[in-house]
Structures are given as structure tokens and as C-alpha cells.
Amino acid sequence: MKIAHRIGLGLFLSVILLMSACSSRKSNLTIQDPWARLGVAGGNSAIYLKIENATKEDDALISASCDAAMMTELHMTQMMDDGTMKMEPQEKISIPAGQTVELKPGGLHIMLMNLKKDLKTGDTLNLKLKFEKSGEIEVSVPVKEP
């Protein structure tokens, strides 16, 4: 019985240490200044924010989901040679070690497509960001005018 008790205690402590290691890694990736544009049900909107990576490892945002839209994608707005703006989906957004990446109008952003409801000033959206190494981070995003 003593051996089984020691093995069980060892496994329990191992799980606690592993969970601590995972949670400390996530705490080094910080989401700052999130906000979403106004939008109309059935239309599109976008979310902007800053991602600070205080770790010594590169990471990448690989997907996002938002309860306010039927579809959520990572996008980049680019100026074309003919002077028009074009939005292109991105497979991922790299977050280099020790740097902050800004998702902003006219650049990288999180595109909300086919909105389920109108987005009005003062509303709050629930956003889930999924990272290659840091896992998922949930963010409350206020809706406001630019």
C-alpha cells in the first residue's frame, strides 16, 4: 500500500508541476488594447489588438474564433500596384520572441465575417486566440468607433 501511495503522490506532483509550467508560459504572452469595429448583422467587422511576446521563443497566432461571427479569419490588408487595397487570409501571424506585433487598420487584423448581430459601441465580444506554443487565450473585446 505504501508503494502505491508513493507512486500516486509522485504522479499527482508531476501533473501539478506540468500544469504550472504550462500556465507560466501562457502568462508571458500578453494581449493589449483589443477593440472591434462597429458592424451590421450579416456584414463584416474586424478586431485589432497588440500581442506582446515576453518569452525567448518565437510563437505564432494560428487561429481565432469569435462568438459574434459565423466565420473568423486572420487577414492582412495590402496595397496593390494599381492603388487598390486587397485583404488576404493569413495561415498564421508570427509573434517573434521579445517583440510586440500590432494588428491594426490597414495591416494585419482578425476579420469577422457574416456577423450574427449588429455590433454597437459598448458591446463586448468574446474572442479566442490560438497560438502554436502558448495554446488558447480568451479575450474580451470592446466594440468602438475608430
- What three-state secondary structure class fits 143? strand
Distances (CA, A) of 115 to 18, 37, 83, 144: 39, 12, 28, 16
What are the pLDDT digits (tens) for 108-144? 999 999 999 999 999 999 999 999 999 999 999 999 9
What's the N-to-C CA distance of the chain in angstroms? 65
Evaluate if pTM is beyond 0.75: yes
| Higher-scoring residue by pLDDT: 18, 5 | 5
In tens, the pLDDT along 59-98 reads 999 999 999 999 999 999 988 888 888 899 999 999 999 9
Backbone angles phi, psi at 136, to 5 degrees: -95, 140
Write the pLDDT tens digit of every residue in 29-68. Answer: 999 999 999 999 999 999 999 999 999 999 999 999 999 9
pLDDT for 1: 53
Three-state DSSP class for residue 98: coil
